[in-house]
Amino acid sequence: MYIAIEGIDTAGKSTQIECLKSLFPEAVYTKEPGGTPVGVEIRSMVLHGELKSKMAELLLFLADRAEHTESIILPNINSLIISDRSAVSGVAYALVQDICDIKTLVSLNTLATGGKLPEKVFILKLSPQELANRLSQKEHDVIESRGINYLLNIQEALIKASQELGIQTFVIDASQSIDTITNEIADLIKGNE
């Protein structure tokens, strides 16, 4: 089963991935972008503000997604795959940046993945107050520096993107304790094993 953990920056995706490793040690863990050597380079280019074009950013993320699918997802498709982000993020971020319409974004991401999308997506959702609190405690990358409203728009777009892609979606309150969130995700994963 291929699942993805989604959420805006500071929602706790990386923390949850680490917690799940102790519960599902046999799973394949990956991330987008950055799950392959090519993805590491793409992630660096985008997060350090090297691009002026939003379209170039979208196309680089699609290239990473195609490489990730070929290198990580397809060879491990009979295993439990847990990914930090997926095509859901690709659609959501591009949608908020108004690069093109959602049908085109869904088509592009379906093309990049060969139609191999996560079966389940867990979206960690933050309240505006909790997001402001978490952002105040860290240095911002290019995406985070676009502001709270931008990130809240992304958060809503993640839910919309997941539904448009036809993926079973679970929205989880990210302000709960780490253990509560981990147990909720684990129970939903085990329910399908």
Band of residue 171 on the pLDDT scale cut at 50, 70, 90: very high
The ranges assigned to domains in the chain are: 2-190
User: Rounded to the nearest 10 degrees, how much is the dihedral formed by the CA atoms of 108, 109, 112, 114?
Assistant: -110
DSSP lists the bridge partners of residue 169 as 121
- Return the pLDDT at 43: 83
Residue 193 pLDDT exceeds 60: no
Domain covering 2-190, topology: Rossmann fold (3.40.50)
**Whether this model's pTM surpasses 0.85:** yes
DSSP string of 115-168?
Answer: T---SEEEEEE--HHHHHHHHTTS---TTGGG-HHHHHHHHHHHHHHHHHTT-E
Tell me what the pLDDT averaged over the chain comes to. 91
Name residue, tokens 């949608």. Answer: 95
Tens-place pLDDT, residues 76-100 = 999 999 999 999 999 998 999 899 9
Amino acid of residue 26: E
Burial of 139 (0-12, 13-18, 19+ CB in 10 A): exposed
Please state the rounded mean pLDDT for residues 172-193.
91
Listed in order, strand segments (DSSP E) in the chain are 2-7, 28-31, 81-84, 120-125, 168-173
CA–CA distance, 86 with 6 (Å, rounded to integer): 8
Please state the rounded mean pLDDT for residues 102-127.
96
CA–CA distance, 85 with 34 (Å, rounded to integer): 10
- Return the pLDDT at 192: 61
- Return the pLDDT at 191: 82
CA–CA distance, 45 with 61 (Å, rounded to integer): 11
Band of residue 142 on the pLDDT scale cut at 50, 70, 90: very low
